[in-house]
Structures are given as C-alpha cells and as structure tokens.
Amino acid sequence: MPESKGIAFGGNNGTWQDAPTSRATSGLESLFNTFCVWRYKTTATDAAVPSSPQLVMDGYKVEFNTGSTGTTATNTTGWEYVGINNPNLSSAQTIKYWDYSATSYRFFGYSPFEAKATTSKSATGTANDKKTISFPFAYSDNATVKSIPYISELWFSKESYGNCVTLTFAPLIAKVRFKFSYPEGADAVVIKDIQFRDSRFLADPTTATTPLRGTITATYPLQGIPTSSSPTLSWTTTDTAEGSGASSTGPLILTIPYEEEGDRIHNVSDKSLYGKWYYVPPFNAIPYSQGAYTITANIDGRYASATVPEEFMQWKAGYQYTYIFKITEAGTVINFSDLLVEKWLTGSNIDNNGSGTEDW
C-alpha cells in the first residue's frame, strides 16, 4: 500500500487570448485567487462501472497565496485548502488523503469561490446521479473577463492517484468583438452612429426577443465513466421581477469597435474603451437562434451598412468571435470581410490559430 499522501490542487486558466497571440495555458491566479471544489470517490468492486459516489469534499474553498508553494504538504503550486475559512461549512477544512483502494475519483468546481452560485444533487444511487451548479446571468455592455464565473472541466481518473489535481477552468459564456479595416494609406476615416445588431429587429428594437437574463447551469455526472470532460450547460430564462425594470429579453446592440492604442486610425475617443470585447449569452445552451446581423454607421458623413449571415451569429459558450468589416477606398461603403472563431483549448498545438472556424 503506498504511503498516505495528501491531496493537493492546482488551477489552469481557460481564459480567451486575443488572437493571434499565444494561447498557452496560464495559472488561474492570473484571474482569480480562489475556487470552490467538490471531490467524489467510488469504492465499488466493479471498477469498470463506477457507482455509488461518496462525497469527500463538499464545496471546499481553495485559496492562492503568492510565495506559499511548498510550505505545507498540500501546497505544491501555491493553492491551499487546509485551514482555509469556509463560511459554507460547519467544520474546519482538514487535509484529505488519497484512498488508493478507491475505484475512481472525480473533482470539479467553479471560480471564484465568492461567485453567486446554487448547487443541487440528484438522489444517490440512481443511474443518472449528477451534480448541478447554477449561476445567474444578466447581459451588460460593461461586463469584463472577470464579470462571469468560470466553471471547471471534470477531473476523472481510475488510477492517477497521488498527483496534484490540476483543474482547468473555462468561461460559461461567449465573447464577441467587431473591427474595421481601412484602405491602405488612409490617414483618417470618421465613423459615427455605429450599431451592430440582429437584422430582424432593425425597424423596432423594442420587439427584440434576444435572451438577456437567465440562469446558466453546469451539470456533472457522478456515476459511470464520463464521455467528456466538459460539463453540460443549460439555460433557464429569468422572469422579470415586477417593478425591477429589467427584462429577460431585449435588443443586444454592439456599438464600440475593437481598437488598440497603436492603431493607425481611431474612432473610439475614450482610451479606456480600447480592446473592447462583449461578453454575451451562450446561445447553444439556451438554445436560441439569432438572425443575420446588420452593421449600420455614418462613414465620412454618409450612411453605410453591411450584413453578416445568420449562420455566423450562433455564439457558443467558451468561444470568441471576431467580425471584421472592410471600409472601401470610396469611404462610403462597408463590407463584411472576415470572421475569426476561436475556442479555448489546452496545450500549444492549436489548429485554427485565430484564422478559421475550428469546430464551428
């Protein structure tokens, strides 16, 4: 029997990287310094069909402290759970050891620990035993990469005991930006009154049915051998509370193009808005189909528009989308030029490298 060894954690950051720069993984601590984790094990005699999960860590709080690596038996990467105060538990978080007689282990969680989340579990022993974690979502033009919690992939193993458990966290929603490309040699192109929105509601935005508020739920299987490390995402529309003034549906209108400080031409006057991304609902989880999107703008004093086909507007959780519009030499015509689609993936060998529709 191997010597008793305490369980230790690490965290990868599945945040999107702005194409076409490097997309190597980085520590979760670059975004959040806490996460919440569950640990289940099985001890069934038939290791091929893990069942009857036993809860060992019930929403433990794991915390990152710079320079703390190696200070305890359970801190191998700067992340620690032993002795960390957890307001959701009635007893202190204590060290947990690997059980080498267990037939399987599974870990999962979300970050940051402080995120507003609700959890539930189906009845133990049923064939569809599962754990769900739900998060409220409300679309905001001002959201940032840290506005929405991250959810982990499922860490499952029947044999990799004793090693650091590195959970990989990724976003629950999608990320969108739009950019302009200008004629070579142009020193200035003035673009005003920009709106990029669903073509079906151009005439009357108040009729828009785009989901803006709801609950995103991640579901993890607790029995059997999982076929995917990704949790199943689903959506429940949030009914409008009387008097709140917030609707569950409405228009989603993008108005600020993506620009960087070093760009040759600027139409974003507020430098704090450089690098603008929009953090949008995951329509594949809702589900909801957008129509074609039309961009309208006043370019050098003249009205111009362009339309993106609806098949390019079905945003998925964990993907980022870049829409590029080309301004012609005449300066009065705008054309949809290109679409870059990226999905965050582990490792350095990424096939699409920001230049295609990988796994579209």
Q: What is the pLDDT of residues 195-234, one digit of tens each?
A: 999 999 999 999 999 999 999 999 999 988 899 999 999 9
Of the candidates 321, 224, 313, the residue with the CA atom closest to the CA atom of residue 279: 321
Buried b (16+ CB within 10 A) or exposed e, 63-93: bbeeeeeeeeebbbbbbbbbebebeeeeeeb
Query: Could you say which DSSP state residue 6 is in?
Result: B
Which residues, in sequence order, are CB contacts of 3 under 8 Å at separation 6+?
A: none
Q: Checking phi first, is residue 158 left (phi over 0); if not, alpha (psi -120 to 50) or beta?
A: alpha
| Contact predicate 307/290, CB 8 Å | no
Q: Report the chain's mean pLDDT, rounded to a whole number.
A: 85
Q: In this predicted model, what pLDDT tens digit does every residue of 29-48 receive, in sequence order?
A: 888 999 999 999 988 765 55
Predicted confidence at residue 99, as pLDDT, reads 93
Of the candidates 153, 5, 142, 149, the residue with the CA atom closest to the CA atom of residue 73: 5
How would residue 107 be classed by pLDDT, with cut points 50, 70 and 90?
very high
Q: Checking phi first, is residue 243 left (phi over 0); if not, alpha (psi -120 to 50) or beta?
A: left
CA torsion angle for 78, 35, 31, 144 (degrees, to 10)?
-170
Percentage of residues in the chain with pLDDT exceeding 70? 84
Q: How far apart are CA 322 and CA 313, in angstroms?
A: 11
**In the predicted model, is pLDDT for residue 267 greater than 90?**
yes
Among 51-55, 103-107, 170-174, the least confident range: 51-55
How would residue 138 be classed by pLDDT, with cut points 50, 70 and 90?
very high
Strand residue runs (E) in 2-129: 9-13, 26-27, 34-42, 54-64, 79-80, 104-111, 118-121
For residues 302-316, give the mean pLDDT.
Answer: 92
Sheet with 334-343: strands ordered across: 278-280, 174-181, 319-327, 334-343
Among 223-237, 244-258, 321-335, the least confident range: 321-335
Which residues, in sequence order, are CB contacts of 275 under 8 Å at separation 6+?
A: 18, 258, 259, 260
- Which amino acid is present at 345? L
> pTM of the prediction?
0.86
Copy the structure tokens of residue 61. 């709080």
What separation in angstroms does the CA of 302 have from each of 4, 269, 305, 330? 73, 20, 10, 11
User: Cα–Cα–Cα angle for 208, 211, 217, nearest 5°?
Assistant: 175
**In the predicted model, is pLDDT for residue 21 greater than 70?**
no
